[in-house]
Amino acid sequence: MLLVNFKIYKNTFGDGALKLAEICRRVGEKTKVKIIPVVSALDLRRVKEKVGGEIWLQHLDLFFEGKFTGWVSPIAVILAGADGALINHSEHQIPFGRVRQILAYLKKKEWVEHWVEELKELGDYRSDIENFKLAFCVKTKGQVERRVKKMTPKPDFVAYEPPELIGGTVSVAEAEPEVIKRIVDLLPDYKIIVGAGVRNGDDVEKSLELGAKGVLVSSDVVLAKDPKKELTELAEAFAGKVKIQKSPVLDEVETRSGNFKNANQR
């Protein structure tokens, strides 16, 4: 799974969002890799109606319905066609308590039943609510240890992106392979997404070899002169590594991790 975060770069405004989402759809169909546009709330409905497929939102707020001017309602985005969302991205962080509340309101059975009842006059949205995906973004291994392991209910994905590498020329898989491996080991019941500085097929391959199930990209595709070419390279690398067995990259990481532990024990 590749998630393409449109952010709010000007070339994704208006028709630009439609053009890039269409590229995601076509490359996904060609390579047989799930490619998900992650769009702004302003573009969600239009992209969903004109391009279709799975579409995620970049952010959600805690407030679901009522007198809350300007906030992004999770229920409103589900009704608008969103299939999932990022929460707590490093560029739009929210307090951990609010993250837990959003998870509770969308994942706990009693709250799902509440929203189904509340919305019944508008239609049957049970499956839309039940299948809505949430990716909780973290920027350090410490956040995984302190927060994610204690989450109830759980997010569908955990996305690790160190902010200092976002938009840079060194990928997270190149700079922090031990951290990715550690997060994967800490969260065996979670699907891990990694991102930051991902710029080529090698970055995707290394991420998957380390145990990630998805890769989050943005500027490499969104700001590229030829977004289709860039996205195709990433998707083809993903398609070629989905069923990979234990790799030399992983062996190296485990050896380095073991050496680090042994050094600490001396």
The distance in angstroms from the start CA to the end CA of the chain is 42
pLDDT above 70 as % of the chain: 90
Which of 176, 173, 191, 177 is CA-nearest to residue 234? Answer: 173
Please, which residues have CB within 8 angstroms of residue 69's CB and are 6 or more apart in sequence?
none
Helix runs in the chain, H state only: 15-31, 44-50, 74-79, 96-107, 109-119, 126-130, 141-146, 172-175, 177-186, 201-209, 219-222, 227-241, 248-265
Could you give the C-alpha distances from 75 to 38, 54, 151, 154, 172, in angstroms and in order? 17, 17, 21, 19, 33
| 24 pLDDT more than 90 | yes
* CA 58 – CA 13 distance, rounded (Å): 14
* CA 78 – CA 132 distance, rounded (Å): 8
User: What would the pLDDT profile of 199-237 be if each residue is shown by its tens digit?
Assistant: 899 999 999 999 999 999 999 999 999 999 999 999 999
Q: Are strands 56-57 and 191-195 parallel, antiparallel or unpaired?
A: unpaired
Q: How confident is the model at residue 259 (pLDDT cuts 50, 70, 90)?
A: very low
**Predicted pLDDT of residue 154:** 94
Residue 209: other Cβ atoms inside 10 A: 23
Q: Is domain 2-265 in CATH 3.20.20.70, yes or no?
A: yes
User: What would the pLDDT profile of 54-71 be if each residue is shown by its tens digit?
Assistant: 999 999 999 999 999 999
Catalytic residue among 91, 121, 145, 161: 161
| 243 pLDDT more than 60 | no
Q: How confident is the model at residue 169 (pLDDT cuts 50, 70, 90)?
A: confident
pLDDT above 90 as % of the chain: 76
Catalytic status, residue 59: no
What is the rounded average pLDDT of the residues 180-198? 92
Catalytic residue among 59, 89, 176, 230: 89
**Predicted pLDDT of residue 230:** 95
What is the rounded average pLDDT of the residues 143-172? 89
What is the rounded average pLDDT of the residues 87-114? 95
Q: Say how many residues make up the chain.
A: 266
What is the rounded average pLDDT of the residues 232-258? 63
Q: What residues does each domain of the chain span?
A: 2-265
